[in-house]
């Protein structure tokens, strides 16, 4: 029997491995997904990620979860604007409020810096026809709104051969996304697809940091059951011995595995909390604390019970007796 598998999700947007990949390889990211934007930036002037500034802007405007958002200061080649700002979102699922969030974050960034702001969105969801690019309203002859460029990972379906040959590192990230979706119901097929991607990664001749960053993204996307994950690590060890390299050290492997486990656990905790609220209403502080501190095995037990339990107490029965 085939069992459906999926990629783990995290409760915290900033835990996504997209973060390191984009921060370390930002020009490559724009060159692949937004080439017209890439060509207008003066890369010789550098760029700056504005983490604290972004957190201040979005602190009281939490309009839904996303995989990642970034605010970057760049300089344009035309030199007319001086410093401008790029607001980037990586959105993992269909969300009605997403276009509104793009609008809100854009005007709040402009309000803070009084500089032009360009918002960009990379969509990583599974819905082919969902591609929001505008938000606004027209009332009493007053028009307000935003139109923003969008790239969608699913649009690359059918281009797998070209992606394998493309030297841009985000071609492999995109390929990993597509093959994750294609192998959702077949762990063995996912293992084989992931192993081919890892081999491609090692054949590129990239530096250690790029190998680690992209390996982490691929490993996070293409989640495998533990027995296949262990086999994958053995394969990685073999290929590193053959090539006489040590890109992903034992310490880094432990860190990656720990990060994966934490991500899965956080996702399960968030899903459980949402289901409990839907079934039983607002949760007492004690229940929220139990969920936050529970082991992964216990979270799975509670998730199995939540739909059939008559009361909140029945869900947590083992933890209290």
Position 316 scores a pLDDT of 80
Q: Could you tell me the sign of the dihedral formed by the alpha carbons of 110, 113, 119, 122, in that order?
A: negative
* Least confidently predicted of 11-15, 21-25, 154-158, 221-225: 11-15
Residue 215 reports pLDDT greater than 80: yes
Position 32 scores a pLDDT of 96
Residue 112 reports pLDDT greater than 80: yes
The answer to whether 304 and 293 are in contact (CB under 8 A) is no
Query: Parallel, antiparallel, or unpaired for β 134-139 and 150-152?
Result: unpaired
Rounded average pLDDT over 146-150: 95
| Helices 98-113 and 51-58, packing angle to 10 deg | 120
Q: Which residue has the higher pLDDT, 6 or 69?
A: 69
Average pLDDT, the chain: 80
- What is the band of 51 on the pLDDT scale with cuts at 50, 70, 90? confident
Tokens representing residue 153 in the block: 């990972």
Residue 186 reports pLDDT greater than 60: yes
Residue 252 reports pLDDT greater than 70: no
Position 95 scores a pLDDT of 86
- What is the band of 66 on the pLDDT scale with cuts at 50, 70, 90? low
pTM given for the model? 0.70
- What is the band of 1 on the pLDDT scale with cuts at 50, 70, 90? very low
Position 184 scores a pLDDT of 84
Q: Measuring CA to CA, which residue among 198, 188, 194, 217 is closest to residue 28?
A: 217
Beta strands (DSSP E) in the chain are: 48-49, 68-75, 83-91, 117-123, 134-139, 142-147, 150-152
Residue 227 reports pLDDT greater than 50: yes
Position 263 scores a pLDDT of 55
Tokens representing residue 77 in the block: 């080649």
Position 113 scores a pLDDT of 87
The answer to whether 306 and 272 are in contact (CB under 8 A) is yes
What percentage of the chain exceeds 90 in pLDDT? 26
- What is the band of 14 on the pLDDT scale with cuts at 50, 70, 90? very low
Torsion, CA 254, CA 258, CA 260, CA 263, rounded to 10: -160
Q: Could you tell me the sign of the dihedral formed by the alpha carbons of 78, 49, 94, 60, in that order?
A: negative
Q: What is the pLDDT of residues 68-106, one digit of tens each?
A: 788 999 999 887 666 889 999 888 888 888 899 899 889
Beta strands (DSSP E) in 92-210 are: 117-123, 134-139, 142-147, 150-152
What percentage of the chain exceeds 70 in pLDDT? 79
* Least confidently predicted of 151-165, 194-208, 267-281: 267-281
Position 266 scores a pLDDT of 66
C-alpha dist (Å) from residue 281 to 11, 205, 257, 276: 20, 54, 35, 7
40 three-class SS: coil
């Amino acid at each position: 029997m085939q069992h459906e598998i999926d990629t783990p999700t995290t409760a915290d947007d900033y835990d996504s491995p997209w973060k390191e990949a984009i921060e370390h390889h930002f020009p490559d990211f724009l060159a692949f997904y937004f080439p017209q934007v890439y060509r207008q930036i003066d890369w010789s002037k550098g760029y700056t990620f504005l983490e604290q500034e972004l957190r201040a802007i979005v602190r009281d405007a939490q309009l839904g979860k996303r995989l990642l958002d970034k605010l970057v200061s760049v300089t344009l080649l035309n030199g007319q604007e001086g410093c401008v700002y790029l607001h980037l979102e990586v959105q993992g699922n269909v969300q009605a409020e997403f276009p509104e969030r793009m609008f809100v974050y854009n005007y709040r960034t402009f309000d803070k810096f009084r500089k032009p702001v360009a918002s960009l969105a990379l969509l990583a969801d599974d819905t082919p026809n969902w591609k929001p690019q505008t938000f606004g309203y027209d009332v009493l002859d007053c028009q307000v709104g935003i139109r923003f460029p969008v790239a969608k990972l699913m649009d690359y379906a059918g281009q797998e051969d070209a992606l394998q040959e493309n030297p841009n590192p985000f071609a492999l990230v995109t390929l990993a996304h597509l093959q994750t979706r294609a192998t959702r119901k077949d762990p063995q097929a996912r293992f084989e697809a992931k192993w081919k991607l890892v081999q491609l990664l090692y054949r590129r001749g990239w530096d250690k940091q790029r190998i680690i960053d992209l390996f982490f993204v691929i490993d996070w996307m293409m989640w495998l059951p533990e027995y296949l994950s262990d086999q994958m690590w053995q394969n990685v060890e073999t290929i590193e011995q053959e090539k006489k390299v040590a890109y992903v050290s034992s310490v880094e492997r432990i860190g990656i595995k720990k990060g994966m486990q934490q991500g899965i656990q956080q996702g399960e905790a968030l899903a459980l909390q949402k289901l409990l609220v839907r079934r039983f209403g607002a949760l007492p502080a004690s229940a929220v604390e139990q969920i936050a501190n529970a082991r992964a095995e216990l979270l799975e037990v509670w998730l199995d019970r939540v739909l059939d339990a008559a009361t909140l107490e029945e869900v947590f029965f083992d933890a209290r007796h």
